[in-house]
Amino acid sequence: MWTKVPASNSPVSCPNCGQITHIETIQTDGEGSAAGVILGGAAGGVIGNQIGKGHGKTAARILGAIGGALIGNQVEKTR
């Protein structure tokens, strides 16, 4: 139900109304999703694939994918 408020500067009596006395800004970390992990992991795997030969290349690819996934998740949380 809407009620019309008088156009005067005098205070209006309202038993259900409150008064804002303080406003505080709170900054929180964002939430990550699978997109940051997947894209970061894919990018890390591609970069890791450019390093080494044989088993070293495989290890670099795996470490790159894991590192990229972790970094991608953190980047997504900050946006």
Per-residue pLDDT of the chain (79 residues; tens, 9 = 90+): 566 665 556 566 777 777 778 888 887 767 767 888 888 999 998 888 888 788 888 888 888 998 999 888 888 877 6
* Contacting residues for 5 by C-beta, under 8 A, at least 6 apart: 12
What was the pLDDT predicted at 36? 84
Q: Are 75 and 31 in contact (CB under 8 A)?
A: no
pTM for the structure as a whole = 0.54
Which sign does the torsion angle of CA 11, 15, 21, 26 carry?
negative
Tell me which residue has tokens 């303080």: 22
Dump the DSSP string for 6-39: PSSSSPPP-TT-----------------HHHHHH
